Amino acid sequence: MIKRGAFLNIRHWRMTAGIALVVLFYACAHVVSPTGGPRDEDPPEVVRSSPPNYSANFDDNQIRIFFNEFVALHNIRQQLLVSPPMETMPEVRIRGRSIVMDIEEDMRPNTTYNFFFGDAIRDITEGNAIPNFQFVVSTGDHVDSLALGGQVKNAFNLAPEEGVYVMIYDNIYDSVPYLERPVYLAKTDKNGKFTISNMAEGSYKMFALDDRNYNFKYDLPEEWIGFLDSLVSPRYFEAVHDTLEDGTLNPLPDIGHSYTLYLFQEEDTVQRITSSRLVREGLIEMVFRVPFDSAHVREIKEPFDQQWHVPEFGIYHDTLRIWFAETGRDTLHLEVLDGDQVLDTIVRSTRPRRPARQPDEEEEPVLNISPEFRRRGAVPFFRPLTLRSEHPLAEIDTGRIQLYIHDSIPHLSHFYVTDQALRTAEMYPPLEEETSYRLDILPGAFTDIYGLTNDTLGISFTTNSRENYGNLILDVEVPETGHQNILQLLNTDQDVLQEKIISEGGRYVFRHLTASRYLVRLIEDLDGSGSWTTGHYLRQRQPEPVHMLSDTIQIRENWDVEMPWTITPFNSITP
């Protein structure tokens, strides 16, 4: 028999032991809970392979490569490239901590094969890839040991291009990048540099491709390319022997010279109108597929006896706006041309569809006129006072415009329309430094082509001074080439701020610069177009050469910076 007190003691002991076990379990679980750690950023490493990498006398149909961790294959069908090319691509599969590559066709005798994996081999935890991994074997008694290297740069800003394929062809006819996969391949690093090793002796065509569909062919208009004008020949370089994980020696060539390819996108010259619409009564807008040279329209059903519209070009010359007043017609039949080339014929109503119910009261429309400067802060003294009209202007009544200095002293001034679209009016004479102005514009000062006039407008502002700006003085030396050059001042986002057309070396000044950092670019304008012209592969035309001043330039207020700059001709081969 168990006494009641004893029973209570036993029950108390069991409860206490249970609580202790729960606490102990929680504490243990809390202690061993993973606390994380630094992220694994190391790619897998090769520990051995069968056969060893860079083996000669290979006569098997299978290659197996072992790694120090489990790996995965990422886009292996798109990334694996074999040179020389095979009719049937090898089958690659995972087996444990290794990959197995089965070769399904007879290999050429006395030939070095390079299996280029790109970054397809990755660890399974963080996806870290082995960059530019390649496996090399030879069916002969030696491994080809010639090599070449270089760099790929953006043709327009000379920035290094990362992740671009550099492709080598032993067939050297012009259209080979469109039709064939290369025999050798490399991928540029973050500095745009590449090395292609284990090449056989010969002359090759070199081509760079930003391959958007991963088929190693130039077959998309949005793909960027670069090429050399002449063939290349690999050379033997003194090897820097690096011991691999499997104990073999990897001959890494010390490239003593390099090739430079300039990457560009070919201009799309197929022109057409992608859309057209009646924006509002009196305004038709047309959008073009590529920038035009000299777009214009003409009425073909009932030609007008006089000028009936005002054209306005978009800033990138890919948009054309047709402003027109009352034509007396409900419909226009317009033939659209770019130069002498007829692009399309469009039929547009001159009036938009009216809503089923009109508002009971409509405000009398007015012409909106606004200054082209920010209302806050001082206005740059060196720029003309400019007004922008909502619509093309037909008339300016200067008697209804009055400019005052210090709010009370009348200042004689005139406004003139200065742009083709008749929407910009500039004041003459120019503004003065550190002066306060008030501009009063009375109703009827501006009349547009629709007969609308402005409402009352009052603008007060103050100009700044020369001490708010710095100047850049460039002493430029350019080779005597017989063509003009475009000298450009850029901000750090590479937007063009100022430019000058120059034909010879000399002293050139960029004035009125705010305190900031700037870049300078010079374009060799070979065709005299006044802008940079891209290249064309089949025409064997390289993009126009571009030179960038190596460093950014710091401009400070009330300070002049003077710099020399010597332009040297391009050379695609650097000894």
Q: Give, in order, the Cα–Cα distances in Å from 226 to each of 35, 242, 248, 537, 542.
A: 49, 32, 36, 8, 8
246, with CB counted inside 10 A (0-12, 13-18, 19+), is middle
Rounded to 5°, the CA angle 228-230-236 comes to 95
What phi and psi values does residue 469 have, to the nearest 5 degrees? -130, 160
- pLDDT tens digits along 476-528: 999 988 899 999 999 999 999 999 999 999 999 999 999 999 999 999 999 99
CA atoms of 74 and 214, how far apart (whole Å): 13
Give 10's DSSP letter.
H
What phi and psi values does residue 201 have, to the nearest 5 degrees? -65, 145
Q: 11: which 2 tokens?
A: 């029950």
Contacts of residue 124, defined as CB under 8 A and 6 or more positions apart, other chains included, come to 69, 70, 71, 72
**Confidence at residue 421, expressed as pLDDT on a 0 to 100 scale:** 96
Cβ–Cβ contacts within 10 Å for residue 84, how many? 15
Give 373's DSSP letter.
S
- pLDDT tens digits along 86-113: 888 999 999 999 999 999 999 999 989 9
Verdict on whether the full-model pTM lies above 0.85: no
Phi-psi region of 353 (alpha: psi -120 to 50; beta: other; left: phi over 0): beta
Q: Give, in order, the Cα–Cα distances in Å from 292 to each of 42, 268, 422, 533.
A: 51, 11, 21, 14
**Confidence at residue 359, expressed as pLDDT on a 0 to 100 scale:** 59
**Domains, the chain, ordered by start:** 46-138 (2.60.40.1220), 146-263 (2.60.40), 273-349 (2.60.40), 369-466 (2.60.40.3710), 469-569 (2.60.40.10)
**Confidence at residue 119, expressed as pLDDT on a 0 to 100 scale:** 86
**Confidence at residue 362, expressed as pLDDT on a 0 to 100 scale:** 64
- Whether omega for the bond prior to residue 109 falls within 30 degrees of 0, making it cis, is no
- Residues in the chain where the model's pLDDT stays below 70: 1-38, 238-257, 355-362, 572-575
